[in-house]
Homo-oligomer: A and B are copies of this chain.
Amino acid sequence: MGSINGKKYIERLDKLKTEIWYDGQKITGKISEHPAFKGLLQTKAHLYDMQLKPAFKDIMTFPSPTTGDPVGMSYLMPRTKEDLLKRRHMIELWARQTGGILGRSPDYLNTVLTGLASSAAWLENRNNCFPDHLKAFHEKAREEDLSFTHTFISPQVNRSTMYFGESDEPIAARIVEENEKGILIKGARLLATQGGLTDELLVFSVGKYFFNENEAFAFAIPSDTEGLRFICRNSFVGGSSEFDHPLSSRYEEIDSIVVFDNVLVPWERVFYYKNAEVAEEFITVSGFHSFAKHQVITRQIVKTEFILGLAELIVETINIGEYEHIQGKMSEIIIGLETMKALMEKAENHAALDEWGYMRPDLSTLKVAGTVFPKIYPRLCEIIQLLGASGLITLPTEKAFASDIRKDLDLYVQGATKTAEERVKIFTLAWDLTMSAFGTRQTQYERYFFGDPIRLTSDLYKNYPKDKHAQAIRNFLKLKQ
């Protein structure tokens, strides 16, 4: 079958009988028509549509190794630096459609799955591991152009270091039974972005030592698997007007809690289970981090460009470019952008083949970028707020412009180089990006995308090859040790 278009994507989703709870109610009709999801699904449909358009097809797809049909470039396992660049150009093209704001465009989780599958061989001959399931599932996903959400955060009941999280009733999702059909999961996971709005749910665990073998697993199941329940937070769609809510009306990716109410995961969908060591190490040794970070940082660069463009437009609109402190703030954005771009370029330049012959961008450099962006993104948003100042507070609406008071607005809200309507559009975009509930959730999302920033920072230090530099000082001082 290969790459799908938007219509197919929507149809498939509407057909699923996924259990989604929204504001205390179980969704019953078509999810593509629900006001909280509609904008997002249309945006994603638009992205899928691009895949088969002649203008983009070569960038967005490659011929399936099994059928020759065009399949999504995000499923490509790169073997050369050119493959890496192909992947990046696809990521950029999609990211640019939404200013890098859509965190979970299809390529993100396709890339995650591809990163894991590219290292399936590592699972061979390990206990309770099914590398073939993983490879087969990757192929199926590629050929059917499946969409995904995933979830790896366990409930945050108690973050004390002294607390080991045991209770009689499973809280964090875990295996409660194992039978001939598969494994039975009970408990919850937090924060599945777009949870319930994709064909499949990918579940695995990252980044901590596991005290409990029953919490160590990786699998994928259809969103409408029995016993699977998505509990959404309130939507941050501000309204359906693109004028008033240029971002949230289209890009709001709702988050949800995932409840596993004795969910059966059939064996062919289990990649590994009850193997804490594998659960801990596979994430690290596989292509997961390299490829996922390559996707994410590419998107973040596009987003930083979006912010720079928007900032410059604000400066232009109210003519503040001559102020030294404004120049300083604009330069901060430029430095942020150039730093991220340079790190991406370095990671690609220093890409190397892994032991299975896949070309991985340099992880150490990507980690630096992944530590930098969560630090600068909140500041970039703050700069937008500082440029817009009180102008971000009193924004007239689309309907106001369509009413009798338009003449007042045209006169009193005009910008130095812009009509009132243009100015309001620009400032409304700035508001939606940095000050709406949608925008602040984006800030929190970027801040924690790669995990706890404190842990990331510690990890960067611990794994960085610093001893050669220490050795240089030992030589400089003629020390023995």
A residues within 8 Å of B by Cβ? 21, 23-25, 96, 99, 153, 155-163, 169, 171, 187-188, 190-191, 229, 231, 233-234, 238, 244, 246, 255-257, 259, 305-306, 308-310, 312-313, 316, 318-320, 322-325, 327-328, 330-331, 334-335, 338-339, 341-343, 345-346, 349, 364-365, 368, 371-372, 378, 382, 385-386, 389-403, 405, 408-409, 411-418, 422, 425-426, 429, 434-437, 439-441, 443-445, 447-448, 452, 454, 457-458, 460-462, 464, 466-474, 476-477, 479-481
Contact = CB atoms under 8 A, between A and B. Distances in A.
Contacts of A171: 411-412
A411 B169 contact: yes
Given A157-B415, A390-B156, A437-B437, A338 B320 contact: no
B316 A155 contact: no
Nearest to A245: B234
A24 B400 contact: yes
B156 A318 contact: yes
Nearest to A467: B312
B408 A334 contact: no
A371 B378 CA distance: 21
A457 B346 contact: no
Contacts of A162: 322
Given A319-B159, A471-B309, A399 B436 contact: no
Contacts of A417: 481
Nearest to A417: B481
A344 to B, nearest CB: 8
A474 to B, nearest CB: 7
Contacts of A371: 331, 335
Nearest to A192: B394
10 contacts: A99-B472, A171-B411, A233-B393, A233-B395, A234-B397, A257-B413, A306-B473, A335-B371, A342-B345, A422-B480
A76 to B, nearest CB: 24
A313 B473 contact: yes
B437 A372 contact: no
A385 B312 contact: no
B395 A479 contact: no
A357 B405 CA distance: 48
A157 B473 contact: no
Nearest to A409: B231
Contacts of A349: 345, 349
A479 B420 CA distance: 12
Contacts of A158: 318-319, 415-416
Given A345-B349, A349-B349, A458-B331, A319 B160 contact: yes
Contact of A246 (B378, B415, B445, B477): B477
A429 B397 contact: no
A449 B23 CA distance: 36
B23 A399 contact: yes
Shortest beta-carbon contacts, A-B, top 7: A24-B399, A309-B469, A24-B403, A158-B416, A342-B342, A435-B440, A188-B412
Given A325-B325, A334-B460, 15 more contacts: A23-B399, A24-B399, A155-B413, A156-B390, A188-B412, A233-B396, A257-B394, A313-B470, A331-B458, A335-B460, A345-B346, A385-B443, A389-B444, A422-B481, A429-B476
A201 to B, nearest CB: 16
A418 B162 CA distance: 18
Contacts of A472: 96, 99, 305-306, 309
A418 B364 CA distance: 30
A414 B157 contact: yes
A368 B338 contact: yes
A439 B67 CA distance: 53
B309 A338 contact: no
A163 B342 CA distance: 39
Contacts of A409: 231
B325 A470 contact: no
A365 B339 CA distance: 9
A308 to B, nearest CB: 5
A182 B397 CA distance: 34
B324 A325 contact: yes
A48 B349 CA distance: 34
Contact of A231 (B256, B386, B408, B418): B408
A320 B160 contact: yes
A223 B325 CA distance: 38
